[in-house]
Structure 1
Amino acid sequence: MTTSPHPLGPWRCIPLMLLLLSACDDASSGDDAGSLPDSGSDAGVADSGPPPEDAGPPDAGTPDAGPPPWDGTYTALEDLGDWIDSGRHDTCQFVTPEDLDPQLCERIASFDLSSCSSEQLSGVENQGIFQINVRQEMTYSATRPPTASVTNSFVGFRLSADGTQDAYSSGPLIARVTEGGTFFLAARSSTRSPWGNIVRTTALAGCHVLSPGVITGCYVSCTDNPTSGFTKSVGTFKTERMSWAPGESESSGGLSLVGEASTTVGLPVDVYVAKEHAYVVSLSKAPLVGGLSVFDVKDRTTPTLVKTVTIPGDGAWNGVWAKGDALYVASDSSGLVVFDITDPAHPVFVRHAEGPDAVHTVFVEGARLFANSSGTGTYVYDITSPLAPVLLQLITWAPEGYTGGPHDIFVHGNRLYISNAGTGFHIMDISDLDDVRHLGDYLQPDFADAYAHHNAVGTFAGRTLAFAGGEYTGTHVRVLDVTDPTNVPLIGTFRMRPHTSMHNLLLRGNLLYVAWYHEGLRVLDVSYPTRPRQIAHFNTYRETDPRRGHNIFEGAFGVRVPGDGFVYLVDSSRGLIIVNAL
């Protein structure tokens, strides 16, 4: 049987926004089907205690799928892309859009709101953090005929009760009316170019409230460009306040908060747990610089910040991993940074490893370390001596006509799975590093035009499956059958609210843990991988937390499940969060 590939009621505000796609028969057989065994049923579920040092890192792609009820059959699905356009968001209109008077772009009187509900709008709370989809429908210009074209763009804004923190994208509001049955905002931004400033004015006029915090209406965006002249774009919008999904509490499915601790070092983005310590890396976020925070987690109920490490001019620390007495930090400022954690509370700088000046993410599999340099490729190191990485090879791949480089990778067996940013998803044979071979891709147009961000791979019913995640609005879990790399079908998906973005994901046994920014932690049962099913969640995001921003990259960034009975999360404002494992 096969259910509809569309979410229930496109973009209606319903709890969880599940996309349940069942599957049956006709799965193709690949050359390597069954070459990796399905693993034991307790992998990643029962608390097995910390693994021995020679067992390999717990998050690094060992065979991991328990005996599923799935028999390995499916029906290939059409990839609908990240954002599924459902048409105009509302009935209101911009009056006389062909009139290119710039003053009209910031006045509420420029909108026909006769079809709107002032009663609904009177109940809108005049504060909060929102994400908005702007659906452009027509463009008018002084030099060209009107153009009908539908494009979607996304931005965040903040409203404060007293107006002091109001912001739209990176700039302030120039007009705001959010009371008396009216919802109207206007903002202006200026961008420098070699030919002068490009000034853009955007106005939003609310029309209806679909549910608490979900507002639809119409908009205008006017751009004064020194080279192309004045243009005006009109359309509709839908915005949603980034509180927890409707009907949700802080947690479900048995997850509960055990402990948490914040840090004064930048914007926390990733975490790794070793030797009863959690190592959190941060990016710089003015006025705070990025770096490393070390938490003693022997008592999980009271994680204690014991040390911070910052290096002047080197504040873009984005990824972290540990092996033995070595801690590896991915720095976009200085490359691969190696610390000695013989004393786990006091990391000692050892060296910058040979290789690129910028490393965005790092991954360890056995005696190999993979450092991903955006725009360049994946650098592979021998870490038989963990504190002395030896550069072995640089792996680069992008199909003809594409540029870019890996955001993140996963290793399963002798294959490298590359989430290659704007290029798509690539599969490489790395059984011989001196003869790395490209095996196949997942390059559906909508996926390649999106942002391939992160993935995890496991073996289910004798088939090799990749759980691929993107980044930016509308991104979601794609389940790909990569058994035969020359023919990679989409066999399942899981979506949350379309205004939110995924970040990192982690496969442990039959459970997929997803750090989903505003949506917090989502735990999916993927034992039937054509129909991922959420079984638990923990909401980390709260709009009132200190230093909470209003862009799409807010909330849960990273997740680790080291097998000690706990799940470790890192939240962009709250820092380290520890919950009990399932």
Structure 2
Amino acid sequence: MKRFLALSLSTLLPLVGCGKNENTLRRDCELEELDLSACDTASLGAVQAEGIWNMDFDFGDGEHSPGVIQFQGTSPHVAGLPLTGKRVEPGVLLMTSELTNANGVPLRYLFAGCRASSPTKVSGVFRRCANGTADLNGTFEAARLTRREGEAEASQVELVLELPLPSGSARDVFVSGGYAYVSAYEGGLHIFDVSTPAEPRPGSSRLVASLKPSAGDVWNEVWVQGATMYVASSTKGVLVYDVSKPSEPLYKKTVPGTGVDARALSLDGNWLYVAAPYPNAEVLIFDVTKPQEPSLSKRYFVENTRPDAGERPYGVQARNGRLYVSHWSYGLAVSDVANPAQPKRLGSFTYTGASSRTAVVGTFGSRTLAFEGGQAWNSYLRVLDVTSPENITQAGEFKLRPEISVQAMALSGERLYVAYYQDGLRVLQVSPSGALEQVGYYNTWREADTGRGASFYEGLSGIKAPGDGFIYASETSRGLLVFREQP
């Protein structure tokens, strides 16, 4: 929500050093100044202005941004701004926030309901004012986060192990050699013994090691191969550790160094692929023939992409000489990496409002299918036939709710396991045609859990299905969760 805080130059200049008298200031951010004549304000009386809501802001110029309303707790907020005022009465749903920005300019934000399609779904308008003058306008959609109607806590899936993290919010999980490696954003990374996940044991006995990042760093995805662990760092690229003894991880080096925001990792043979959206919107390709001595072979900029238009890589999967890049508003790109030092784009799949964030790929008969997930309001899971990358077609889809999106997926045979943020774990059966059928689920998100309501991106955040009969997942508030399908 940086746009909410950044004043345009045309707005800022008249406000600085102009000697305006307070008596002449406008009052554009008052409810009576909004034109709500086309709204169904009578429908607002039934709105449940409580709990946690996900939001989507439309700035009217093609740009959208996610947000959250947190009505509960000691620090209620809307879109990351302190909620300093609230009116909920027949015909009125109004939220306000007042603060002073870094330039000393007083800002007032107004969020007004326009209509409610149900007690938990609202559309409305927002306005920002600087010194009383409107500077930013737009509309929003909001939905309260509750369990999907008609669902229980679980169906055909049981939770066999839950391990809270000692610090941080769980981001990703990787399982190797009987250990689960859980990254935790600013909280670093935690290593757990999961050699016998269904065996009752104190959680404290399972934690074998924790690592802390340097100040200001955030740890994203993690990958373990043999005795080597790779961690995607938001400020340094990739951190390399020796985990031959998981209880005593040994730092080896950082590649390529400071200034690279790495988000996702994929290892295929002796090649490590790293999605780095910032600063250069590139995929870093490392030769890891010597696993603990990665050598940067290529800084790959997917052909025809435009970083200035938001087309940046956030997810990667390398498989059988192909590289699949989740390239946000560009969609899913497929490149030939038979020679990883000379990648070449083969094709792509895009769609209106694309927010391609993650993908997994598998072979079903004679077809290669990519399961692509977006991460914005109205995004969902698409099944793409990428057998011929030059002519990618959609073969199927799976939708839940517009306010909740996909963060990660794992494919095991004909089962697709989806980390669906606040909608938890979804177990899908994949048919050879690409059709998806939900055969199980587990609702992991609970409104009362510690830390809820801080971000649009909360809930089940990482998932792995290594083939040992268990499903390992990271949950932003609950930590490491281990599931098992029920017959």
TM over 0.5: yes
Output one character per residue of 1:448-500: Cα deviation in whole Å (capped at 9) or x when no partner: x5322111111223122211112122221112121222211222221111011
- Give 1:455-534 correspondences, 5 Å limit: 455-534=359-438
Q: Secondary structure at the match of 1:342?
A: coil
Q: Over residues 243-288 of structure 1, what are the superposed CA-to-partner deviations in whole Å (9 max), with x where a residue is unaligned?
A: 2111212111x1111111111322220111112111111112xxxx
Mapped pair 1:167 → 2:91: no
* CA distances 1:192-248 after superposition (whole Å, capped 9, x unpaired): 56xx748352232365462xx52335434243389xx6357476x543211211121
Q: Say if 2:382 and 2:396, in contact at 8 Å, map to a contact too.
A: yes
Q: Give me the whole-angstrom Cα distance separating, in 2, the residues matched to 1:150 and 1:405.
A: 17
Does residue 429 (structure 1) correspond to residue 353 (structure 2)? The answer is no
Count of residue pairs brought into register by the alignment:
452
Contact residue 268 and residue 281 of structure 1 kept, 8 A: yes
**2:247 counterpart (345, 348, 364):** 345
- Any idea what SS the aligned residue of 1:486 has? helix
Aligned to 1:32: none
State whether structure 2 residue 205 is matched by structure 1 residue 297.
no
User: What secondary structure is seen at the aligned counterpart in 1 of 2:247?
Assistant: coil
- Does the C-alpha gap of structure 1 residues 579 and 432 become closer, same or farther in structure 2, counting only changes over 3 Å? same
In the TM superposition, residue 408 of structure 1 has moved relative to its aligned partner by 1.6
1:216 aligns to 2:128 (yes or no): no
> How large is the Cα RMSD of the aligned pairs?
3.1
| Greater strand share, structure number | 2
User: Structure 1's 451 and 151: CA in aligned 2 closer, same or farther, altered over 3 A?
Assistant: closer
Aligned amino acid, residue 156 of structure 1: V
State the partner residue of 1:542. Answer: 446
Work out the CA distance in 1 between the residues paired with 2:324 and 2:31. Answer: 48
Specify the alignment match of 1:386 in structure 2.
291
Cα 1:189–1:523, aligned 2, differ >3 Å: closer, same or farther? farther
Instruction: Trace 1:189-204 onto structure 2 (pairs within 5 A).
Output: 191-192=101-102, 197=105, 199-204=107-112
Quote the Cα distance in structure 2 between the aligned partners of 1:436 and 1:126: 51
Change (3 A) 1:379 1:400: closer
Structure 2 gap segments, 5+ residues each: 1-24
Q: Partner of 1:165: helix, strand, or coil? A: coil
SS in 2 for 1:435: coil
Deviation at 1:373, TM superposition (A): 2.0
Matches within 5 A, 1:41-80: none
More deviation in 564-573 or 503-512? 503-512
Spell out the pairing of 1:391-406 with structure 2 (5 A cutoff): 391-399=296-304, 401-403=306-308, 404-406=311-313
SS of the residue 1:121 aligns to: helix
Task: Please show how residues 102-113 of structure 1 align to structure 2 within 5 Å.
Answer: 102=27, 105-106=30-31
Letter in 2 for 1:571: E
Q: 1:275 to 1:136 in 2, by over 3 A?
A: closer
Contact 2:56 2:67 in 1 (8 A): yes
Measure the CA separation in 2 of the matches of 1:109 and 1:151: 22
- What is the Cα deviation at residue 438 of structure 1? 2.0
* C-alpha distance in 2 between matches for 1:231 and 1:330: 38
Q: Aligned match of 2:265 in 362, 367, 375?
A: 362
Are residue 310 (structure 1) and residue 215 (structure 2) matched?
no
Distance 1:298 1:442, change over 3 A: same
**Of 243, 251, 275, the match for 2:146:** 243
Structure 1 CA distance for aligned equivalents of residues 331 and 480 of structure 2:
31
What are the within-5 Å matches in structure 2 for residues 547-558 of structure 1?
547-558=451-462
- The 3 A distance-change label for structure 1 pair 225 and 511 is farther
Contact 1:106 1:203 in 2 (8 A): no
Asked if structure 2 preserves the Cα contact closer than 8 Å seen for 1:519 and 1:539, the reply is: yes
> Could you tell me how far apart the structure 1 residues matched to 2:257 and 2:343 are?
19
- Per-residue CA deviations over 1:325-359 (Å, capped at 9, x if unaligned) read 11111111222111111112221212224467422
TM-score, L = length of structure 2? 0.83
| CA distance in structure 2 between the aligned counterparts of 1:208 and 1:181, rounded to whole angstroms | 10
Query: Paired residue for 1:186, among 58, 74, 96?
Result: 96
| 2: CA distance, partners of 1:112 / 1:439 | 51
Out of 125, 131, 151, which is 2:54 matched to?
131
The higher relative CO (CA closer than 8 Å, separation ≥ 6) is in 1
- Report if aligned partners of 2:271, 2:340 keep a CA contact under 8 Å in 1: no
Match of 2:275 among 372, 390, 407: 372
Describe the superposition over 1:296-316 as per-residue Cα deviations: whole angstroms up to 9, x where unpaired: 223424452232111332631
2:159 aligned residue: 257
The one-letter code matched in structure 2 to 1:215 is K
SS in 1 for 2:30: helix
Kept after mapping to 2: 8 A contact 1:175/1:185 = yes
Judge conservation of contact 2:234–2:263 (CA < 8 Å) in 1.
yes
The C-alpha deviation readout for 1:490-543, integer Å capped at 9, x for no partner, is 222211110112111122211211111111111221215443221111111112
Distance of 1:192 and 1:480 partners within structure 2: 46
Stretches of structure 1 that go unaligned for 5 or more consecutive residues are 1-99, 138-148, 285-289
**Partners of 1:189 and 1:200 within 8 A in 2:** yes
Corresponding position of 2:228 = 326
CA distance in 2 between counterparts of 1:125 and 1:107 reads 23
Report the AA paired with residue 51 of structure 2: G
Mapped to 2, the partners of 1:499 and 1:199 lie a distance apart of 28
Cα distance in 1, alignment partners of residues 189 and 295 from structure 2:
24
The normalised TM-score by structure 1 is 0.70
* Counterpart AA for 2:332: F
The one-letter amino acid paired with 2:30 is C
